[in-house]
Amino acid sequence: MGRSRLFFLILILSVYLISPTHTVAQKSIFDPPEKNNCPRSQKQAHIWYFGEKAGIDFNSGTATVLTNQDVMTAYKASGVMSDSVGNLLFFTNGRKVWDRSFNLMPGATELYGDVGVTQPCIVVHRPGADSIYFLFTVDVLAFMPDNTYSTRGINYTVIDMKERGGYGDAVNYINVPLLTPACQKITAVHHANGRDFWVIAHKWDSDEFYAWLLSVEGLSDPVISSAGAVHGGGYGQQVNAIGYMKASPDGSMIAVAITGSDEIELFDFDNSTGEISFSDGFTTTQTGISPYGLEFSPNSRMLYSTLLQIIGNGPPTNPSYVLQFDLDNGLNNPVAVDSVQGMRLAGIQLGPDGRIYISRTINLLSKNDSLDVIYNPTRSGTECNYNRLDNISRSRFDLEGRNGIYSLPNIVQSYVDIPVFTYDSCCFLDVTQFHISNTANIDQASWDFGDGNTSTDMEPIHAYAQAGTYTVSLTETFNGITFTDTGSVVIHELPVIELGDTIMLYTGSTINLWATENMQSYLWSTGYTGQVLPVENQGEYWVEVKDWQCCTNFDSVYIKVFEYYIPTAFSPNGDGLNDIFRVVGLYRNINFIMYIYNRWGQLVFQSDDIDQGWDGTVKNQLAESDTYVWILQVGFLGEDIITNGDVVLKGTVTLVK
């Protein structure tokens, strides 16, 4: 049985009310939807606009070039925001904002982001406010030879997508100051609660990180952490403001490039408190090139950095490099996965497809219409397949005449927290299908599902015999080399739902059918969507419940409407047959009283116990054969049967000797 209160509704009936056994309705009477894990669409970073009118769309699962916007040039990092299912909302170079129809937002055309800084902007959604987005902008430090400078630092502007008929605009909060002076770097990542966001920047002439929490309540005061090197100096050291800052996709680390000092620093980040602490440092030794772009692998175990020649406006005389750091060893012993002559490798960003993209250009005037690609960034050394796809070298991503310059989008890093595999259907009795997140450079795949079963399919399906947490390993093989990674799969129990089998209901009354509490949704056979269904008619009723893991379950119950059985005659002659006049068929959770009167209106019997009937005697003498009037009053004590006051019935019974 289900809720305990339903036990009280199973009525004890006499033989007069026994009906054929009712069978609980089978699944065939209602075909519920597939019990999948809850949709967790996180496609806010699935459309990129950057560089000189360049674009990429990741919504299909494969990176597809976009050539449909001709309005924005972003020399350095851009900001782009889509909704959770991948529909473009707006994009920006830090100075101006364009909506999804490629028109300028009127209130966001003079923002304080400088298009020449490393990361001039980032867009973050305000939790709990579907239409509100915070656009953070970074201004340049404009130095004079006497070491004075001017800057507007870091500011934010609020974009409300309800404005202009859903195309969005900045209306009330434009260029609100946050921090000055500040370096040319800003990043963002989810709070540990998975709902709120940290926005992180670095103060100029300081060793201080500033971390603001954006939550339902709005933007907090910053958490300030002193850690690592001082980013600062005068006119000759202003290049120390240059270089990327990136949070790891899992929110556990922060990496910073200090271009002027040839340094890369790694920090531990507490995404519960916002506190940052120094972990490791690395100083480049290659002559004439400095660290600039930074990015983590999808599993946050590798860190990549571009090294480029900062000095000079012409073609670089020193090659650009891409370094890979295996973070199990900190920043020690990086591997140069590739180098490029005559080209500056600059911005670097992990894509939703699990691959890392790198912008390439000679300078601001001599550009390139392709991106370099690290196809397997979780693999060590040259096996990360820099510009190599299916053993074909120079497999870059073609921008079809558009140019990346030094630019790629600066996005909330949690949006590219990509597991090695994903899976659909995580509820017991479902068939679970597995998907490899990044299918580049795989000759074979083998799976261990953690329950003794295996598969060699690229996208296998598997049915777990019981609910639980399983460690699943995926081994990819390419060119005879194997790469193994693991992930957890949680198969959830189905929600418990038991309505009972058959419930008896007194005619004219109402019963409340209670489904399991604290479910995400309810669907009854009547179309009702609440937890408690009032029922007054006989019939079969079912309910489907969905819990907060989006697992569903189903149950049904038959409601049998009955009336009291009250005999019209009895014969108290001691033969053991029909000797007692009593009411038959009520359950005991009631207030009960019965009165019996003779034809002159005199009370001859009363009882407050349903099991105590009239034996036909009055003052220990058998009453005369006659017709007697009875009045019955019943009050239901349970919460589930609902009546308009007590039930009162009247009738007559004939005493036959």
Average pLDDT rounded to a whole number, residues 468-483: 96
- What percentage of the chain carries pLDDT values higher than 90? 81
Phi, psi (deg, nearest 5) at residue 416? -120, 30
Q: Both tokens of residue 328? A: 């199990």
Comparing CA positions, the residue from 237, 176, 243 lying closest to residue 205 is 237
Measured between alpha carbons, how far is 197 from 189 in angstroms, rounded to an integer?
6
Predicted confidence at residue 636, as pLDDT, reads: 79
Predicted pLDDT at 279: 97
**Dihedral Cα 282, 283, 286, 289, nearest 10 deg:** 100
Mean pLDDT across the stretch 534-551? 93
Mean pLDDT in residue range 217-224? 96
Burial string for 196-232 (b: 16+ CB within 10 Å, else e) reads bbbbbbbbbbbebbbbbbbbeeebeebbebebbeebb
Q: How far apart are CA 101 and CA 223, in angstroms?
A: 38
557-to-23, 332, 535 alpha-carbon distances in Å: 9, 66, 11
Separation CA 269–CA 49 (nearest Å):
29
- The tokens for 606 are 């009363």
**Average pLDDT, integer, range 73-79:** 97
DSSP 13-51: --GGG--PPPPPPPGGG--PPP-PPPP----TTSEEEEE
- 325 alpha carbon, distance to own chain's centre: 31
d(CA 255, CA 227): 12
Nearest to 306 by CA among 332, 266, 336, 280: 336
pLDDT band of 584, cuts 50, 70, 90 = confident
* Of 282, 285, 278, residue with least CA distance to 263: 282
329 pLDDT above the threshold of 70: yes
Residue for token pair 């189905």? 494
Give the residue-averaged pLDDT of 249-254. 97
- Compute the radius of gyration of the chain from its Cα atoms: 37
* 37 has a pLDDT exceeding 60: no
Using the structure block, give the residue that is written with the tokens 């036909």: 616
∠139-143-145 over CA atoms, to 5°? 175
Report the pLDDT value the prediction gives residue 15, as an integer from 0 to 100: 24
pLDDT of residue 12: 22
d(CA 465, CA 365): 62
Average pLDDT over residues 27-43: 48
Helix (H/G/I), strand (E/B), else coil: 91: strand
User: For residues 71 and 651, what is the distance between their CA atoms, to the nearest angstrom?
Assistant: 88
Distances 239 to 117, 262, 419, 552, 559 between C-alpha atoms, Å? 10, 10, 36, 57, 79
Tell me the average pLDDT across 355-371: 94
* CA separation for the pair 226, 275 (Å, rounded): 9
CA dihedral 22, 26, 30, 35 (to 10 degrees): 140
Contact 597, 652 (CB under 8 A): no
Q: What is the pTM of this model?
A: 0.79
Tell me the per-residue pLDDT of 613-644, one tens digit each, with 9 for 90 and over.
999 999 999 999 999 999 999 887 866 666 66
Average pLDDT over residues 366-393: 96
Confidence of residue 242 (pLDDT cuts 50, 70, 90): very high
Average pLDDT on 552-569 reads 89
Most confident of the following: 195-209, 424-438, 551-565: 195-209
Residue 468 bridge partners (DSSP): 491
* pLDDT-derived band at 312, boundaries 50, 70, 90: confident
Decide: helix, strand or coil at residue 347.
strand
pLDDT of residue 11: 25
**Lowest-confidence range among 101-115, 491-505, 509-523?**
491-505
373 phi and psi angles, rounded to 5 deg: -135, 130
Q: Which of the pair, 313 or 181, is modelled with greater confidence? A: 181
Instruction: Put the strands of the sheet holding 454-455 in their side by side order.
Output: 454-455, 444-448, 468-478, 481-491
Set out the domains of the chain in order of their start, with CATH numbers: 4-15+494-562 (2.60.40.10), 47-416 (2.130.10.10), 421-491 (2.60.40.10), 569-655 (2.60.40)
pLDDT by residue (tens digit) across 88-98? 999 999 999 99
Handedness of CA 540, 541, 544, 547 (dihedral sign): negative
Q: How many CB atoms lie within 10 A of CB 569?
A: 12
In whole numbers, what is the pLDDT of the chain averaged over residues? 90
Provide the CB-side half-sphere exposure for 249 (13 A, CA).
22
Chain position carrying tokens 């399919």: 457
Q: Are 350 and 330 contacting, i.e. CB atoms less than 8 angstroms apart?
A: no
In this predicted structure, what is the pLDDT of residue 589? 76
Residue-wise burial string across 290-308, b where 16 or more C-beta atoms lie within 10 A, e elsewhere: bbbbbbbbbbbbbbbbbbb
> Strand 79-82's sheet: what is its strand order?
79-82, 88-92, 97-99
In Å, what is the CA distance from 616 to each residue of 410, 580, 607? 93, 7, 13
